[in-house]
Amino acid sequence: MPDEHELKHILASENRHQVAFFAYMSQSVQINAISKYMTFVYDRVETNVGNGYDVRSGNFTAPENGVYVFHTSTTSYDKSVCSVEVVKNGQIKDITLADSGQHDDRAVASSMTILSLTKGDIVLARVGKAQSGNYLESNQYSRMSFSGFKLA
Protein backbone atom coordinates (compact mmCIF):
# COMPACT_ATOMS: atom_id res chain seq x y z
CA MET A 1 0.00 0.00 0.00
CA PRO A 2 1.43 3.43 -0.93
CA ASP A 3 2.39 5.79 1.87
CA GLU A 4 1.11 9.39 1.99
CA HIS A 5 4.05 10.78 -0.04
CA GLU A 6 3.59 8.16 -2.78
CA LEU A 7 -0.16 8.76 -2.84
CA LYS A 8 0.36 12.53 -3.29
CA HIS A 9 2.77 11.82 -6.16
CA ILE A 10 0.25 9.48 -7.81
CA LEU A 11 -2.56 12.02 -7.45
CA ALA A 12 -0.38 14.85 -8.79
CA SER A 13 0.52 12.68 -11.77
CA GLU A 14 -3.15 11.93 -12.43
CA ASN A 15 -4.07 15.64 -12.25
CA ARG A 16 -1.65 16.46 -15.07
CA HIS A 17 -3.81 14.38 -17.40
CA GLN A 18 -7.16 16.00 -16.65
CA VAL A 19 -9.09 17.37 -19.61
CA ALA A 20 -12.44 19.16 -19.30
CA PHE A 21 -14.22 22.07 -20.94
CA PHE A 22 -17.55 23.88 -20.77
CA ALA A 23 -18.56 26.62 -23.20
CA TYR A 24 -21.85 28.26 -24.10
CA MET A 25 -23.22 30.88 -26.48
CA SER A 26 -23.46 34.34 -24.98
CA GLN A 27 -26.55 35.23 -27.02
CA SER A 28 -29.34 33.70 -29.04
CA VAL A 29 -28.76 32.82 -32.69
CA GLN A 30 -31.04 33.82 -35.56
CA ILE A 31 -31.86 30.79 -37.72
CA ASN A 32 -31.33 32.83 -40.90
CA ALA A 33 -27.75 33.57 -39.74
CA ILE A 34 -26.73 29.90 -39.75
CA SER A 35 -26.26 27.44 -42.56
CA LYS A 36 -26.16 23.68 -42.91
CA TYR A 37 -22.97 22.13 -41.50
CA MET A 38 -21.78 25.39 -39.93
CA THR A 39 -19.75 24.78 -36.76
CA PHE A 40 -21.30 26.32 -33.67
CA VAL A 41 -18.81 28.56 -31.89
CA TYR A 42 -19.59 28.65 -28.18
CA ASP A 43 -18.00 31.98 -27.28
CA ARG A 44 -18.17 31.96 -23.47
CA VAL A 45 -15.71 29.50 -21.97
CA GLU A 46 -16.19 28.74 -18.28
CA THR A 47 -13.76 25.82 -18.04
CA ASN A 48 -10.95 24.69 -20.33
CA VAL A 49 -8.65 22.36 -18.39
CA GLY A 50 -6.06 21.04 -20.83
CA ASN A 51 -6.85 23.82 -23.35
CA GLY A 52 -8.60 21.45 -25.76
CA TYR A 53 -11.47 23.80 -26.69
CA ASP A 54 -10.71 26.58 -29.20
CA VAL A 55 -13.11 29.51 -28.74
CA ARG A 56 -12.20 30.92 -32.18
CA SER A 57 -13.17 27.82 -34.18
CA GLY A 58 -15.55 25.93 -31.86
CA ASN A 59 -13.36 22.84 -32.20
CA PHE A 60 -12.20 20.58 -29.41
CA THR A 61 -8.82 18.99 -30.16
CA ALA A 62 -7.90 16.00 -28.02
CA PRO A 63 -4.68 16.84 -26.17
CA GLU A 64 -4.04 13.13 -25.55
CA ASN A 65 -5.41 9.66 -26.25
CA GLY A 66 -8.38 8.50 -24.21
CA VAL A 67 -12.10 8.00 -23.83
CA TYR A 68 -13.99 11.30 -23.76
CA VAL A 69 -17.57 12.26 -22.93
CA PHE A 70 -19.23 15.17 -24.79
CA HIS A 71 -22.52 16.92 -24.09
CA THR A 72 -24.52 19.39 -26.17
CA SER A 73 -27.63 21.33 -25.24
CA THR A 74 -29.71 23.23 -27.79
CA THR A 75 -32.93 25.20 -27.34
CA SER A 76 -35.17 26.15 -30.25
CA TYR A 77 -37.79 28.81 -29.65
CA ASP A 78 -40.82 30.31 -31.37
CA LYS A 79 -41.61 27.87 -34.19
CA SER A 80 -37.98 26.94 -34.83
CA VAL A 81 -36.24 23.67 -35.70
CA CYS A 82 -32.54 22.81 -35.66
CA SER A 83 -30.62 19.57 -35.68
CA VAL A 84 -27.18 19.52 -34.07
CA GLU A 85 -24.52 17.02 -35.03
CA VAL A 86 -21.55 15.96 -32.92
CA VAL A 87 -18.76 15.33 -35.41
CA LYS A 88 -15.40 13.59 -34.96
CA ASN A 89 -12.83 14.20 -37.70
CA GLY A 90 -15.59 14.92 -40.23
CA GLN A 91 -17.78 11.93 -39.32
CA ILE A 92 -21.16 12.35 -37.63
CA LYS A 93 -21.22 10.51 -34.29
CA ASP A 94 -24.47 11.83 -32.76
CA ILE A 95 -27.49 13.93 -33.80
CA THR A 96 -30.19 15.73 -31.82
CA LEU A 97 -33.22 17.73 -32.93
CA ALA A 98 -34.65 20.73 -31.07
CA ASP A 99 -38.12 21.09 -32.61
CA SER A 100 -40.51 23.84 -31.55
CA GLY A 101 -41.76 24.12 -35.13
CA GLN A 102 -45.42 23.60 -34.24
CA HIS A 103 -45.58 25.88 -31.20
CA ASP A 104 -44.40 29.22 -29.83
CA ASP A 105 -42.60 27.74 -26.84
CA ARG A 106 -39.17 26.20 -26.30
CA ALA A 107 -37.91 22.75 -27.23
CA VAL A 108 -34.67 21.47 -25.73
CA ALA A 109 -32.48 18.75 -27.19
CA SER A 110 -29.36 17.38 -25.58
CA SER A 111 -26.88 14.64 -26.30
CA MET A 112 -24.22 12.74 -24.42
CA THR A 113 -21.67 11.11 -26.70
CA ILE A 114 -18.81 8.85 -25.58
CA LEU A 115 -15.90 8.69 -28.02
CA SER A 116 -12.49 7.07 -28.10
CA LEU A 117 -10.03 9.73 -29.28
CA THR A 118 -6.43 9.82 -30.36
CA LYS A 119 -4.31 12.88 -29.64
CA GLY A 120 -5.12 15.49 -32.31
CA ASP A 121 -8.63 14.21 -33.12
CA ILE A 122 -11.14 17.04 -33.57
CA VAL A 123 -14.68 17.02 -32.17
CA LEU A 124 -17.21 19.79 -32.80
CA ALA A 125 -20.92 20.54 -32.72
CA ARG A 126 -22.45 21.82 -35.94
CA VAL A 127 -25.75 22.64 -37.60
CA GLY A 128 -27.31 19.53 -39.09
CA LYS A 129 -29.62 19.08 -42.05
CA ALA A 130 -32.73 20.50 -40.39
CA GLN A 131 -33.11 24.17 -39.70
CA SER A 132 -36.03 26.56 -39.99
CA GLY A 133 -37.92 29.17 -38.05
CA ASN A 134 -36.79 32.10 -35.96
CA TYR A 135 -34.00 31.44 -33.49
CA LEU A 136 -32.05 29.24 -31.13
CA GLU A 137 -32.18 30.51 -27.60
CA SER A 138 -29.18 31.19 -25.39
CA ASN A 139 -29.93 33.70 -22.65
CA GLN A 140 -31.03 33.90 -19.01
CA TYR A 141 -33.69 31.21 -19.61
CA SER A 142 -31.75 28.57 -21.49
CA ARG A 143 -28.21 28.16 -22.80
CA MET A 144 -26.81 26.51 -25.88
CA SER A 145 -23.74 24.70 -24.60
CA PHE A 146 -20.98 22.27 -25.53
CA SER A 147 -18.88 20.48 -22.94
CA GLY A 148 -16.66 17.48 -22.55
CA PHE A 149 -14.16 15.69 -20.37
CA LYS A 150 -11.69 12.85 -20.48
CA LEU A 151 -13.15 9.80 -18.78
CA ALA A 152 -10.21 7.41 -19.06
Q: What is the pLDDT of residues 86-109, one digit of tens each?
A: 999 999 999 999 998 888 889 999
Whether this prediction's pTM lies above 0.85 is answered by: yes
Question: Per-residue confidence at 14, pLDDT binned at 50, 70, 90?
Answer: low
Question: What CATH architecture applies to the domain 19-150?
Answer: Sandwich (2.60)
What single string gives the DSSP state of each residue in the chain?
---HHHHHHHHHHHHTT--EEEEE-SS-EEGGG--TTPBP---EEEEEETS-B-TTT--EE-SSSEEEEEEEEEEEESS-EEEEEEEETTEEEEEEEEE-TTSSSEEEEEEEEEEEE-TT-EEEEEEEEEEESSEE--SSS---EEEEEE--
